């Protein structure tokens, strides 16, 4: 193991433990990365005391089917200093799925459990290496010519509060979405006043700390190096600048060696051969880019349908199809999503499933010309192959 110590001038300190080469245990689970994030007035750096956190996590989790215990943040603060922080672990089960856990510093002493005993996604619906397995088909295709399945409001799987059905758009965690073949994930970020760090938001609803999802994304990118995917941060205007900088720190620490930085030629001109040759396979988009780690969202075109019936959604998609030639320098997203409105108040989950078959048929009839197709509850129902598999297969029929 190697230990990374990072100083941040605004007094944010992020301690990260990582391994150069991932060695998975023969059974149970293996912890890939443990993070303790702290906001300390002194800006004190983590030194050799990092090993205390490492040993604590390994003793609880390594090689077991179920990882459980109580996070003793008092012990951690004894080594690090008096800080308000958050504890995060990401692990991989022996059947390849990712598990993560996050604990707010304020909830120190709460018990946590990571369970690897069963799959969250049926084996038949797992496509973690579909790009690598389709290498001879994809190698000369540009990023724009890819056909990618995307999840709308990808992080809202954690929403379980009152009226959550108006804001919850996915039912499985982002790591499981990637395992199932999704290659575009979509985030809105915000912050609760009492919380440390940026959280997933949808309207007035708040979800988990985004760092937990970033750890799963990092782990997937390490375990499946031939897969290219896009992480889109949008509507981040409510984030204070300190949290914007914090997000940049997280991206730099986790993805320094794999992020696709802004290159000198257009994004849409790069082939998958270029991506594989560079080893840089994660593309971050941001509506307020502050570093070369993230691309401006202007490289994509995505128009919100703002409709609530399948009929009006079909009309929207026909219009997008007629205008697609105008956006030849952008990655074009078709948003096959509905909006819950008062005049057609309904279950977002139920309506999303109702229009799924219609969407699949529409794409077949139009030979699927969009780079990304964005949907709600993308993997539902879990037991049946569906839109993701159709979009993966569409890559075999796009001329390079």
pTM of this prediction? 0.84
Q: Which letter, b or e, does each residue of 162-176 get, where b requires 16 or more Cβ atoms within 10 Å of its Cβ?
A: eeeebbbbbbbbbbb
Whole-angstrom CA distances from 292 to 136, 236, 256, 295 are: 30, 17, 11, 7
d(CA 164, CA 372) in angstroms, rounded, equals 26
Q: How is residue 227 written in tokens?
A: 């897969």
Nearest in space to 175 (alpha carbons), one of 129, 210, 211, 214: 214
For tokens 């994660």, what's the residue?
Answer: 282
d(CA 339, CA 167) in angstroms, rounded, equals 10
Per-residue confidence in pLDDT tens, the chain, 400 aa:
332 222 222 222 233 333 334 555 555 666 666 665 554 443 333 333 344 455 555 556 666 777 766 655 555 555 444 455 666 777 788 778 888 777 665 555 666 677 888 888 899 999 999 999 999 999 999 999 999 999 998 988 877 766 666 678 888 889 999 999 999 999 988 876 545 567 887 766 777 778 888 888 998 998 999 999 999 998 776 777 777 877 887 888 789 889 998 865 677 888 999 999 999 999 999 988 878 889 999 999 888 877 776 677 788 888 888 888 888 889 999 888 877 665 555 567 777 777 778 888 888 877 778 999 999 899 988 888 889 999 999 999 887 5
Query: 306: Cβ–Cβ under 8 A, 6 or more apart, which residues?
Result: 339
Q: How is residue 399 written in tokens?
A: 């001329």
Q: How is residue 69 written in tokens?
A: 């215990």
Judging by DSSP bridges, how do beta strands 199-202 and 300-302 pair with one another? unpaired
Q: How is residue 207 written in tokens?
A: 């979800």
Please report the pLDDT score of residue 361 as a whole number.
Answer: 83
Q: How is residue 184 written in tokens?
A: 């575009």
User: Residue 24 phi/psi, 5° resolution?
Assistant: -85, 145
Nearest in space to 173 (alpha carbons), one of 209, 205, 115, 216: 216
Please report the pLDDT score of residue 36 as a whole number.
Answer: 57
Q: How is residue 336 written in tokens?
A: 């096959």
Say if domain 120-400 classifies as CATH 3.20.20.190.
yes
Whether residue 85 contacts residue 39, with contact meaning beta carbons closer than 8 Å, is answered with: yes
User: Residue 168 phi/psi, 5° resolution?
Assistant: -80, 125
Whether residue 210 contacts residue 155, with contact meaning beta carbons closer than 8 Å, is answered with: yes
d(CA 175, CA 316) in angstroms, rounded, equals 31
Please report the pLDDT score of residue 135 as a whole number.
Answer: 94
Nearest in space to 51 (alpha carbons), one of 75, 84, 17, 77: 17
3-state SS, residue 98 = strand
Whole-angstrom CA distances from 124 to 98, 250, 382 are: 17, 33, 10
Please report the pLDDT score of residue 346 as a whole number.
Answer: 58
For tokens 């969407």, what's the residue?
Answer: 359
d(CA 8, CA 288) in angstroms, rounded, equals 20
């Amino acid at each position: 193991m190697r230990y990374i110590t990072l100083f941040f001038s605004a007094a944010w300190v992020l301690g990260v433990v990582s391994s150069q080469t991932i060695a998975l245990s023969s059974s149970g689970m293996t912890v890939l990365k443990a993070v303790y994030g702290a906001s300390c007035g002194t800006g004190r750096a983590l030194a050799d005391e990092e090993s205390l956190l490492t040993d604590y996590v390994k003793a609880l989790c390594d090689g077991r089917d179920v990882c459980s215990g109580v996070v003793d943040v008092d012990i951690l603060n004894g080594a690090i200093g008096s800080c308000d922080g958050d504890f995060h672990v990401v692990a991989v089960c022996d059947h390849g799925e990712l598990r993560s856990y996050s604990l707010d510093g304020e909830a120190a002493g709460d018990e946590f459990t990571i369970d690897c005993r069963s799959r969250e996604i049926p084996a038949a619906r797992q496509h973690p290496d579909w790009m690598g397995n389709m290498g001879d088909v994809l190698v000369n295709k540009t990023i724009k010519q890819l056909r990618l399945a995307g999840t709308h409001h990808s992080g809202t799987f954690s929403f379980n509060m009152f009226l959550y059905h108006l804001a919850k758009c996915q039912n499985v965690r982002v790591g499981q979405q990637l395992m199932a073949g999704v290659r575009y994930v979509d985030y809105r970020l915000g912050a609760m006043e009492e919380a440390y760090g940026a959280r997933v938001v949808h309207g007035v609803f708040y979800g988990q700390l985004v760092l937990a999802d970033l750890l799963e994304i990092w782990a997937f990118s390490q375990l499946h190096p031939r897969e290219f995917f896009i992480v889109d941060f949008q509507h981040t205007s409510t984030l204070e600048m300190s949290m914007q900088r914090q997000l940049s720190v997280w991206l730099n620490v986790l993805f320094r060696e794999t992020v696709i930085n802004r290159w000198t030629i257009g994004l849409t001109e790069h082939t998958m051969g270029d991506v594989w040759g560079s080893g840089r396979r994660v593309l971050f988009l941001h509506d307020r880019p502050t570093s070369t780690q993230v691309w401006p969202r202007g490289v994509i075109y995505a128009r919100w349908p703002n409709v609530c019936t399948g009929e009006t959604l079909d009309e929207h998609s026909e219009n997008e199809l007629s205008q697609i030639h105008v956006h030849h320098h952008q990655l074009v997203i078709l948003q096959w999503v509905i909006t819950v409105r008062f005049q057609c108040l309904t279950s977002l989950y139920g309506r999303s499933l109702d229009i799924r078959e219609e969407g699949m048929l529409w794409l077949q009839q139009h030979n699927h010309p969009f780079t990304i197709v964005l949907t709600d509850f993308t993997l539902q129902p879990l037991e049946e192959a569906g839109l993701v598999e159709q979009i993966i297969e569409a890559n075999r029929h796009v001329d390079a």
